[in-house]
Amino acid sequence: MIQNKIETIIKLVMFALIVLLCIGIGFQYYISQPVDTKEVMCHKGKLIHRLGDDGSVYIKVKGVSCVFERGMIIIEEQL
């Protein structure tokens, strides 16, 4: 009787550990996905261009403005 309850508890604990392990592996997989940095972006009406390969430094392009509409960047020259 007691041994049967202990076996049931061990099975439930093992099941919970396996579920937590699977969730942890999936969570780690989605966190470790690389961030897609874009070469050119429109930010607050200004066109910015990525500087370097690391993707963390952008410079503002002078003389142009931009608008992001329907998945496209529309660039206009400022006079």
pLDDT value, residue 78: 76
pLDDT value, residue 46: 86
pLDDT value, residue 36: 62
Same domain, 52 and 27: no
What's the domain range around 57? 40-77
Same domain, 4 and 24: yes
Same domain, 1 and 25: yes
Strand partners, 38: none
User: What tens digit of pLDDT does each residue of 2-20 get?
Assistant: 888 899 999 999 999 999 9
Same domain, 67 and 44: yes
The CB density around residue 34, as the number of other CB atoms within 10 Å, is 6
User: What tens digit of pLDDT does each residue of 36-61 get?
Assistant: 667 888 888 888 888 877 767 888 88
Helix (H) or strand (E) holding 44: none
Whether residue 42 contacts residue 72, with contact meaning beta carbons closer than 8 Å, is answered with: no
Same domain, 45 and 62: yes
Question: Rounded to 5 degrees, what are φ and ψ at 30?
Answer: -70, -30
Domain count, the chain: 2
Beta strand 72-77 with 40-43 is unpaired
Same domain, 18 and 44: no
